[in-house]
Amino acid sequence: MAEKKARIAVLVSGGGTNLQALIDAQHSGIIKSGEIALVISNKEGAYALERAAKAAIKTAVVLKKSYSDALGFEEAIKALLKENEIDVIVLAGFMSILSESFTSAYPERIINVHPSLIPSFCGAGFYGLRVHEAALAYGVKVTGATVHFVNEIPDGGKIIMQKAVAIEEGDTPEILQRRVMEEAEWIILPESCEKVCASIIK
């Protein structure tokens, strides 16, 4: 009998570099207690969808504009999660804040990676390059990434893992963003994902 694995859905909006890190981690055996069963994008033509298709992972697109309100949009995502018997949800560059009615339906089942050491440079308005711009503007010497559970407060859920990354002379937001991805995000997101999946199937 095949071992039971937690079924993972990855929610994406863009290029899907974190999704790729998860796919690679699944192939290399870092993620062994779960499998990526579904990738949902809130943008048509997101490159992340191509990455999923190449890895033979089922994809779906849910557009906000197709619904009269955020609730309809979230209900459509919930329906897909239910239909695909999803256990764990990973937000990998998903550019849509989920409401409390969504997050409370999956307590300690939704994880997100944030490109700073929470509680620094996080919360509403801090995403993408803005986080790295803020870190450089403030003059911190160390930044990094945090994987946390998602609740109704942006970047407010319990921390699962953190990894520090040094800021170097001459860093630009773009250079720093790349280093934080390579040295932190792509390492701790798969590891956190495995940790959560393992605790679910226990």
Radius of gyration in angstroms for the set of CA atoms belonging to the chain, rounded to a whole number: 16
Q: Could you give the 3-state DSSP secondary structure of residue 85? A: coil
Q: Could you give the 3-state DSSP secondary structure of residue 81? A: helix
Q: CA–CA separation, 199 vs 202, rounded Å?
A: 5
In the set 27, 114, 132, 148, the catalytic residue is 114
Q: CA–CA separation, 147 vs 128, rounded Å?
A: 15
| Residue 148 annotated as catalytic | no
DSSP summary character for residue 12: E
Give catalytic residues, as residue numbers: 114
